[in-house]
Structure 1
Amino acid sequence: MTSLLTLYLNYNSITSLPAGLFDDLTSLQALYLDSNQISALPDGIFDSLKQLTVLSLQYNQLTSVSARTFKSLSSLIQIYINNNKFSCIDGLAFENSLKLNLVSLNGNPMNCVPAVQYGECASCTYLDLSRQGIKNLDANVFKGFNVERLDLTGNELAAVPYSALSSMEYVQTLVLDKNRITRLSYDGMSFPSWIYTLTLDGNGMVEIDPRVFSSMTSLQYLSLYNNSLPSLPDGLFAGTKQLLTFRASSNRIASLQKGLFDTASSLQIVELMDNKIASFGEGCFDKLYNVLMMSLQHNSISMVPPALFKNMTNLKYL
């Protein structure tokens, strides 16, 4: 079977992998072992798979991997080891996987991310650390990474890990949904300027200091959906000159004050549905020249001020 390129062994009841099982599959490029009951990986089990680019081990019972487990996978591009029982990954696990650009680790019971843990995975562009119970991130945990998308959904972060993010010069998409970030406070640190997409949905957020966004000159997409914000602060958009999409639906926003959107003239999509909006400050939308879509349904609006949308000459959906 030296010519085999793809092998599907997923959705079975495999509990172990005998040594030498894959020794003849020297051309294999994709191996799917997900959704089994594998609890351990013998050292050297993948040694013959020099051409392997995709390895799926998600939804098994794995608790650990050694430094040798993936050592021979020099062509590996994507690895899925999410939804297992890992509490830690050996710091040298991906040492030789220099082409690796996607590591999926979500759904494992890891409650911290030591800096050395992924230190050899500098080529990763997508890192999924969602639903791992992470409470904090060390300052240098991502130092040297080329990650472009970082997913931290469903962890236990109570504050934005600004110090850890400051060394991630390539990250463009940051997902912090469903954590415990109830306040965005400013203590001299803010989100990095190079982020394009930021989502903070479902955190129960009640307060924002707009200075945390003051350096986000590249931001194009900001989502604050499904929080508990009673209002949007003045100066929220002061530093986000390139913002195209703003989502703040399903909050408790009661009014939109005058001047709120004066520095947000680049916006094209504004979502404010499912709030408690009952009033609009004079001319609050006057600078939204480029808006194509605005959603205001399911609010408490009883009267629309005359000329509220007068400058939205490109508006297509309301």
Structure 2
Amino acid sequence: MMKCSSIKFCQKSKCIISWKIPVFIDVVLLTTTFLLSAGSSCGYSCYEVCTCNIYFGSEIDCKATGMVRLPNLISYQQAARTTVLDFGWNDLTFLPDKAFSNLPLLQRVLFNSNYLDFVHQGIFNSSGIDYSPVQYVDFSDNHIYMIPQCFQQMNEYSTKLDNLTDLNLGRNEIGPNIEEYAFNGVRFLESLDLSHNSIQTTEPRTFKYMRYLNYLDLRFNYIESLPSSLFGRSSGLKTLRLTGNKLTVLPGGIPATLTLLELGENRILNLTITDAQKLHNLPNIEMLNFSRNGLREIVPNAFQTMSVLEVLDLSNNAIHFLNSDTFAGADNLEYLFLNRNPFLRTLPKDIFVNLTKLRFLFLYGCALKTLEFGTPSISPLSVSFTSSVTSDTVHVDPLYAPNLEAMWLFGNPINCDCLILPLVWFINVRNLTLDANLYDLPRNIADDAILKNYLTHDGAYASDVATTGSFCTTPFNRHSAVVGKQFLSVPERDLICPNQPFFVAVSMFLGIVLFAAAIPVVFFIVFLYLCTVRVLCKKLGLSLSEDED
């Protein structure tokens, strides 16, 4: 006999008993009822234009619904279970007092990309709750013109935000000054984004008591300087992003715990001794960015104490000269970006001698005519055009940049004479990847996250590789046939110098011949001059004295 069971249905919070049905139908109906309950759930209701899910994350998702006013969350019957509140991409302009008072488990609040210009100071206040459970707040891409007062601890009756670890206020209109007490109520923050605002100054000790802060983003503001007492001695800051400001010198008082420092697109024209001393106080830096500053000069040993530095970006500057000791101490450097320095004409041949972990070297778009790598066993000046010396027979120092995998040289005015031979030998012996596009790199290199990110964001990179290449631009002499060719494709016997032995001998011989031929020519010209003078004097009736004769 087929077994039957009783099914209970929910209707308006009251349960009624249905008829008895077969068990397999019972299972189907139960499944269907469960799925349907995700939308109704015994009295559960959601806002008409929102998506509410109480079974998978307890989320109220109202993003991009065209809302102009925040609905009454207190009337929402499942508010007590909500952990995520997403009202991004709407037209909201105001967040009222105690807007989240009926959400005791709320953890993530997202109101990005609205038109908010004011946030009430009591928005997180809730009766009977001393500490708000909110951990993440996103108010980015709005019209907020000052740090909302809800992040200040106004009084002892305010609900505390000690659980808040991540705050995004980027892309607003905050400025021109950040008060010292602006973040007194969120001292346990770990990540703070203030990028793309109108900040010009920050008062001393603004972040002094935020001991857990490890990420601070101040990119693309109008900051000209930072007070040395901005951070406390116990600060654990790891990442500081200052790209796109108006800094003229390296900020002081940066915590020694920092591992990433971005200073690109500022106005730092020289790295002075004072700046170098500030860098020496940052021994834990792993990534350092000075790109797009107009940087012209770097003092020797500027990175001496940065033994864990892995990525150094000096690209898109106006560097004229680099010393042999510029990178001394940066023994762990793997990525070096020197590209697009149009005034950089030479590099010391031993500048990379201590960079034993260097993997990727960017030198494209400079003014380099030649580049010496290592100390080859044979001097290029001793190699004549008839020599049998090639990359297969020359010895390249195995300790010079032993881990180098790829380099980029395109766009340099390379002079293809014998002085380029050490570079040719180095590339061929080491089998280096040269001037490769991102999609032409070997897989083990192309998958490198840092490399991929850089090549992807350099918009002109791909076209420049194809159009400019590493071509010979000189010499303009009897060997000018190499001009316009890829320098690696030029036979090594054609990479010759005028001061090689053969040409020195020929030049000396021709010089002697020309000198010998010039002597009688000079005597003949003097004799012709004297004869002409004598004839003119006789015709004019003048006489020449014996002295004149």
**TM-score w.r.t. length of structure 2:** 0.54
SS, match of residue 174 in structure 1: strand
Rounded Cα–Cα distance in structure 2 between residues aligned with 1:308 and 1:99: 53
What secondary structure does 1:227 align onto? Answer: coil
CA RMSD across the alignment: 2.2
Aligned-partner Cα distance in 2 for 1:314–1:70: 59
Per the TM alignment, residue 56 of structure 1 is displaced from its structure 2 partner at its CA by: 0.6
Preserved CA contact (<8 Å) 1:265 1:289:
yes
Closer, same or farther: CA 69–174 of 1 in aligned 2, 3 Å: closer
200-209 or 255-264, which deviates more: 255-264
Query: Which residue is equivalent to 1:267?
Result: 358
The answer on 1:170 being equivalent to 2:257 is yes
Distance 2:426 2:302 in 1: 29
Letter in 1 for 2:407: M
51, 72, 84: which one pairs with 1:6? 84
Out of 160, 184, 207, the position equivalent to 1:95 is 184
What fraction of aligned residue pairs are identical, expressed as a percent? 25
Quick check: 1:182 aligned with 2:298? no
CA distance in 2, matches of 1:20, 1:308: 69
Q: Return the match for 2:144 from 41, 59, 62.
A: 62
Pair member with larger Rg = 2
Cα pair distance change 1:67/1:261, threshold 3 Å: same
Task: Say whether 1:240 aligns with 2:355.
Answer: no
Q: Alpha-carbon deviations, 1:8-58, whole Å to 9, x = none?
A: 111111111122221111211111111212112212111248221110111
Q: How does 1:4-83 map to 2 (within 5 A)?
A: 4-48=82-126, 50-65=132-147, 68-69=150-151, 71=153, 72-83=160-171
Q: Is the 8 A contact 2:171 2:197 kept in 1?
A: yes
Find the residue that maps to 2:253 and give its secondary structure: helix
SS in 1 for 2:301: helix
1:40–1:62 contact (8 Å) kept in structure 2: yes
Relative to structure 1, is the Cα distance of residues 193 and 111 closer, same or farther in structure 2, using a 3 angstrom cutoff?
Answer: same
248-257 vs 123-132, greater mean Cα deviation: 248-257
The 8 Å contact of residues 96 and 119 in structure 2, kept in 1 or not, is answered as no
What SS does the corresponding residue of 1:127 show, helix, strand or coil? strand
Which amino acid in the other structure matches residue 102 of structure 1?
A: S
Change (3 A) 1:315 1:40: farther
Q: Measured at CA, do residues 33 and 63 of structure 1 come closer, stay the same or move farther in structure 2, by a change above 3 Å?
A: same
Structure with more of its chain in helix, by fraction: 2
Answer 1 or 2: higher relative contact order, Cα 8 Å, separation at least 6.
1
4+ aligned runs moved over 6 Å, structure 1: none
- Greater displacement, 308-317 / 85-94: 308-317
Task: State the alpha-carbon separation in 1 of the partners of residues 261 and 246 from structure 2.
Answer: 16
Q: Distance in 1 between matches of 2:147 and 2:290?
A: 32
Select 2:314's aligned residue among 221, 224, 234. 224
Change (3 A) 1:317 1:70: farther
2: CA distance, partners of 1:190 / 1:21:
46
Mapped to 1, the partners of 2:214 and 2:320 lie a distance apart of 36
Instruction: Give the aligned residue type for 1:276.
Output: A
Deviation of 1:66 (Å)? 5.7
Q: Is the CA contact 2:353–2:374 (under 8 Å) kept in the aligned structure 1?
A: no
Post-superposition offset of 1:65: 3.5
Q: CA deviation at 1:316?
A: 4.4
2:449 pairs with 1:308: no
**In the alignment, what sits opposite 2:341?**
251
TM-score, normalisation: structure 1:
0.91
What is the deviation of 1:282?
6.6
TM-superposed deviation, 1:181 = 0.6
- Letter of the structure 2 residue corresponding to residue 170 of structure 1: T
Secondary structure of the 1:210 match is coil
In the alignment, structure 1 segments of 5+ residues that lack a partner are none
Distance 1:212 1:178 in 2: 20
The aligned runs of 1:83-162 (5 Å cut-off) are: 83-87=171-175, 88-143=177-232, 144-161=234-251
Matched with 1:207 is: 297
How far did residue 96 of structure 1 move? 4.5
> What SS does the aligned partner of 1:277 have?
coil
